Amino acid sequence: MDWIVFGRAPLGPGLLGALSHLIFFIRGEWHMRVPAIISFYFISSIAMLYLEIHLTGNFTASMKAVGRAACSYAAGLYISIIIYRKYFHRLKGFPGPPLAGITKLWHVWESAGGKNHLLLEDLFSLYGPIIRTGPEELTIIDAALPHIIDGPKSQLTKATFYDVFLPMVAMSATRNVNDHDARRRIWNKSFSPKAMASYEELILRFTELLTSQIENLLSPRNADIESPEATINVTDWFAWYAFDIMGEFAFSRSFNMLRDRKWHSKICLLVDGMSAGDALGKVPWLAQLGKNIRPRMPLVKDWDSMMQWCKGCMDERLQVSVNL
């Protein structure tokens, strides 16, 4: 068995790892295939172990041989990736943190806790307006760029960040141009002059509710303005205002957070999921791996619960429309 001899050679699996990068992984996008790749490697390792045991009859020696081959392969693969990203990638000449050119995981770590804006401010002062913040990513701090990147004549493709919540994806987050255009044609009806005029009354109603609730909280009859209890967390109130309006637009029902003066349980799940999505969006392959390996972990379970609730609300609204 030639492959057995090759696998036991000190440099054989390492060379195979480097070749797998240079022939396959260096091309295209692989972030959505990580669960399948890991499954393939796991099955391959089990098959190699079975054949080694069959040929040698020694389980311990076979385990060591397959373990050495797997480690050697991984070392060859990652050394090839690091050398390419640091010295041969098209972005190698742009300034940025040393680890940024190797892995995006550094960004996840450094920006944890919602500190990405502070991190980028520090990087901007250190490296200038164009920063390499990932192996295949540039962060450009320039007011002229949004129109060029997101303008109607842009030929650019959205980053892999938008794949973090696949298989479900919003129209604004789809990376496929044809899919986006087809869905946008449906949405255009909601932005006609007639439709926009009909929203005004709805928005005014929630605006009046917001102002009245804040006025009631600050009324001397209800609280001493000088006391800490009279402090208003405007972040919460503006979020409740926005989500209540969005609930009416999307589901024909409000979340009633302005009325109840507290967060709706499903919106709490959404906020928590979006916070995690902000971090994992930098490494969407890790999000997909987590959803496949631990589909019942609390965060994934809660997100799926929230999405199923939204789907139920939309089904109810569609049923009402059909009955009308």
202-223: string of b/e by CB count within 10 Å (b at 16+)?
A: eeeebeebbeebeeeeeeeeee
Residues of the chain with pLDDT under 70: 1-10, 220-230, 275-279, 294-297, 299, 321-324
User: Quick one: pLDDT at residue 222?
Assistant: 57
User: Quick one: pLDDT at residue 76?
Assistant: 93
Cβ atoms 27, 84 nearer than 8 A: no
Distance separating alpha carbons of residues 287 and 164, to the nearest angstrom: 6
User: Quick one: pLDDT at residue 3?
Assistant: 45
User: Quick one: pLDDT at residue 150?
Assistant: 79
What pTM, to 2 d.p., does this model score? Answer: 0.76
**Alpha carbon 239 to chain centroid, angstroms:** 21
Cβ atoms 108, 279 nearer than 8 A: yes
Q: Which tens digit of pLDDT belongs to each residue from 194-250?
A: 888 888 888 999 999 999 998 888 776 655 444 545 577 889 999 999 999 999 888
User: Quick one: pLDDT at residue 9?
Assistant: 58
User: Quick one: pLDDT at residue 307?
Assistant: 81
User: Quick one: pLDDT at residue 122?
Assistant: 94
Distance separating alpha carbons of residues 154 and 141, to the nearest angstrom: 18
Distance separating alpha carbons of residues 243 and 29, to the nearest angstrom: 35
User: Quick one: pLDDT at residue 274?
Assistant: 72
Distance separating alpha carbons of residues 185 and 168, to the nearest angstrom: 19
H or E segment to which residue 93 belongs: none
User: Quick one: pLDDT at residue 159?
Assistant: 83
- List phi, psi (to 5°) of 151: -70, 165
User: Quick one: pLDDT at residue 225?
Assistant: 47
User: Quick one: pLDDT at residue 75?
Assistant: 93
